[in-house]
Structure formats: structure tokens, C-alpha cells
Structure 1
Amino acid sequence: MITNLHNFLHQYFTIHDCEVLTENQTEMTIRLNRELDQVLMNRPFYWHYMDKIGRQGEPMSLYLDTSTENKDNNREWIHFGSPRLQQIFHHIKTNARFTILYEETDGDTKTALHPWLVTNIMVHYCGKQKKESVHSIGVQLINGVMKTDMMNHMDGLSMDRRMSDYSFTISPIIKPVSGFRRIFHYLENELLEEDMGWVKQSTDALNEEIQLLDYFFHQQEENKEILEKEQERLTERLQPRIEIEIINAGLFYLTEEASQLIIKD
């Protein structure tokens, strides 16, 4: 799963051409561009007014703290489950579900770029105790090597939507569709290895709630429809299940040097 949210956010903002003004291990200051200001800062009237008077407008900056606990340091604490992170995930899902990026090279040397399929996947655990986890998984489409925590492995690489001069791509041996299958198969196996105690807890809670309903509505034929609706509501809320959702995915073409470093890491 994504163990370093800080690096994930760094990649998100830099890929979207926002400037990271200051940064340390747990804090970052980002100057947004107009696109992400409109997405994240909820001030449509400002941009409407700027357009009306013919001015460029000034995007805002975000002051983020990615610590595991809120330090109350006049920065916005962003963490899994926070509204800001959900806002970012929503933007990725609706506007950048699939992308193609190329590692930047010096543009002077003929350089081969190797294809990686990279996916960021949200796992929803539904039941009595709801939780979410995000997994970043990449598969090299030449040799089939699979790496978890892929966004962190790629941290520090300069990527662009355009290929640098004298670079060329190597055609995948493994088709992207097959790459997706491999990633989902891997993730499903990982989930099967997890502690499933929460499944029993949710199932027990659901059975107890349904038994209580049956007790209160027992032999009340006129309330049968209400009983059925309540049972459906309880089942939707408490029945244990896992839902897997792709946040986004992309083909990332990396140099052989970067690919080897990722594989060895």
C-alpha cells in the first residue's frame, strides 16, 4: 500500500505542474496552478470575476502537514480519510484515470525507455468497522517484475507528458490488459493473507441486528414491508465485503537505469 503519503502528494502536485516551494519530511508548501486552485480551493466566483475583468488571477498556496498526528502548526493536516485527500482522489479519478508519462533525459543521447504499468488502487473494507487503504503497484511490461509502493520508488524521477529528444520507447511484451490482470491477482492474494477477524465481527453484528428486528416485528404482517427495508439497510451497512477501486493508472516509460534501481530496491 502507499506507506509514504508525503511522496504520493509530491508526485501528484509535480505531475500537475504545481511548484513545491518548501518541503521537509512531513511538511510541504505548494503553489497551485489555476487548474488545481479551481479543483481544490472552492472559489469559483473569484475565477469567474477574474475572467470577466480579463485578469489572469492568482492561484493560492497549500500548506500541508503529512504527519501521522495533527501537530496544530497552522498547516492543514492531510491524512487518509481527510476531506482534502478525498478531494484529491476524486480529482484523480474523474480527470486523470489514465495517463502516459516519460522520464526526462538530457535530450542529447539516444535513450531507450522501458514501459511500466503503474496503478494506484483504493481498497474499501465495508462492514461494522469501515476503513480504506491505498496500494501503488507497478509491473514492468518487458520482464513482468512487479513492485509495490511504486509511487515512492519513482519519487525523484522527473516525468513529462512529452518524450525528450532522442528518446524512444520499447514496445511492451506484456500487454497492459495482462498487466492489470497480474496486478489484481497479486492484490487479491495479498488480501487473502490478511487477518479476517473483522469479517466475523461484522457478520455477528449483522445477525444480531436482524434478530432484534425479527423480535420487534414478529407476527406483524402489516409491518412486513418496513421489516424488509430495514433488513436491506442493515445488510448494506454491516455485511462484510471488500471493494477494489482503481484511482488511476498509467504507462510510465523509464530509462533502463531507473528501471534497474526500482527492481533492485
Structure 2
Amino acid sequence: MAIENLHNFLHDYFSAHHCTLSSDSDGVLHVQLTEEMDRALMNRPFYWHYIKKIGQPGQPMELTFITNHSKRDNKGEWIHFGSPRLQQITSHLKQNEQHTKLFQKMTNEQKTALFPWLVINMKISYRGKQKRDEMVSIGLQLINGAMQLDMMETLKNIPLQTTISDYCYTISPIIKPKSGYYRIEKVLEGYIHEQSHDWADDSIKTMNEEISLLKHFYRTDDGDRDKEMNKEIEEIKNRYDPYITFEPINGGLIYLAQ
């Protein structure tokens, strides 16, 4: 997925956790953490224990994240798919905020119907000779089945809250969330099917070459040697045999006006 999508993911993540984004341009994001996010990401338990013990408010850290490859040598933290920091962030989401239920904030005084959307943020992992991850955000309207990609981009411009506004009411889903999730998986399968899979072909080629080379060195009728060879072949297959997995990072039901 394009670097801009990773950048937007980070922007949305820190904004949703009430961090101040002092600067955001050209793949460089300056973030002032809150105390909660400092505790979650910066591994400073002794600092916070000491600060609270002496009765001081403490100073959460300010970070600079770089997603633009051409600026990776700038002062800041280079973050990319597969980087430890991104894995830490997705783990934090999975552990603490995997499911949510939100309503569009409405200020009018007319009866307004809110329609249910199933929103899933999914990580697609490509594994083989090379490893790659991408984040995909999809929304499925649970009344008419309409589907929207980059759903988090749309939600960024819609005020949301945990309680329903006055004069609003919800429409009950026609499509059950479980069925909706399967629909999203089918769309992702189609998305993957349409991609070029040269990476997988290259991985299989390398795997077969290494297995052939290994067999060349194990030309023997010794049963014990065959057992050892088969073990090494299995290790090669585990390393190179290509596969793709989906992993939901988080999601929820979002009720939106038509």
C-alpha cells in the first residue's frame, strides 16, 4: 500500500488518542504524546512512577515519525510496514481498542435516521522470500451492502461520539455483522487476486533452487541422512513458501446519516 496510507493511518491513530500533531507535511509527522500514550508506547514506567510519587504532572515525549522514504535520514523515527514501532502500535490497538460502537454527531432538531456501517481495518501480510504488510480500511453499509474503501479517510471528516444525538434513531442492520465481515473478506480476496504475484513466483523459484542444491549435497542411501535432509527441506519451505494472511486490527459499528 502507498506510503501515504501508512502516514494517514498514523495521523488517524494519534488524533484519535488526543495527541497534538504540531506538524504534518510531506511524510513527516510531529506528535506530542499524551500521558496515556507515553505510558503505552515509550516504556518509561519508572519515570511515571517517580513523577507521580513527587506529585508532579510529568512531561510526555514528543516524537517525529518519518514515512517518506526520501526523508528517512532526517532527524526522527523512520517507520514503515514491518517496523517494530508499527507492530507496537497495531498490538496496542488489538489489545485495547479492537471493537467500538460510534454515532455521527448531529446538531439539527429533526428526526434523523442513522444507518449502520461495519468498518474493518485489516492488515494484509505477504510472506515468502520477502515480507510485506499493508493496511486496508473498508466500510460496509449493513442495509444496502454498499462498500467503501479507505473508510477511515471518510470518517476523518465526520464528527463521531459514543452516544446517539437527540432526535436521532438507528436503523437495524439487514446484513448481519458476521455476514458483512465475510463479504469484506471476499472483496479483499478479489483485490489480492488482481495483483501481480511475481514476488510469489520469485519466492517459489528460490525455494526450488535451494532444495535442489540441498539434495545435491545429500546424495546418500543413509536413512539418518535422509531424515536430516528432509528436516532442512522443511525449513526451506517454511522460509520461502509464499502465502498471504488477513488479520483484523480493529473495527466496529459506526452509525452514519444517509
Range into which the TM-score falls when normalised by the shorter chain = 0.7 to 0.9
Equivalent residue number for residue 243 of structure 2: 241
Write the distance in 2 (CA, Å) between the matches of 1:56 and 1:66: 31
Equivalent residues, number = 256
Give SS of 1:200's match: helix
Equivalent residue number for residue 113 of structure 1: 114
* 1:2-58 deviations in Å (ceiling 9; x for gaps): 752232222212222323333345333322222211121121211222233344422
* 1:170-216 deviations in Å (ceiling 9; x for gaps): 22111111110110011111211111223322222212211222222
Gaps of 5+ in 2: none
* 1:231-251 deviations in Å (ceiling 9; x for gaps): 221111111111111111111
Offset of residue 107 of structure 1: 6.9
Write the distance in 1 (CA, Å) between the matches of 2:109 and 2:73: 48
Task: Say if 2:196 is the partner of 1:224.
Answer: no
Write the distance in 2 (CA, Å) between the matches of 1:6 and 1:182: 27
Is 1:4–1:152's contact at 8 Å kept on the other side of the alignment?
no
Write the distance in 2 (CA, Å) between the matches of 1:111 and 1:69: 47
Write the distance in 1 (CA, Å) between the matches of 2:255 and 2:9: 18
TM-score norm. by structure 2 comes to: 0.88
Equivalent residue number for residue 185 of structure 2: 184
Write the distance in 1 (CA, Å) between the matches of 2:70 and 2:84: 16
Write the distance in 2 (CA, Å) between the matches of 1:114 and 1:78: 36
RMSD: 2.3
Offset of residue 109 of structure 1: 5.0
Residue identity in the other structure for 2:117:
W
Equivalent residue number for residue 164 of structure 2: 163
- Residue 131 to residue 165, structure 1, CA distance change in 2 (3 Å): same
Give SS of 1:205's match: helix
Equivalent residue number for residue 262 of structure 1: none
Task: Say if 2:84 is the partner of 1:83.
Answer: yes
TM-score norm. by structure 1 comes to: 0.86
Give SS of 1:174's match: coil
- Residue 240 to residue 30, structure 1, CA distance change in 2 (3 Å): same
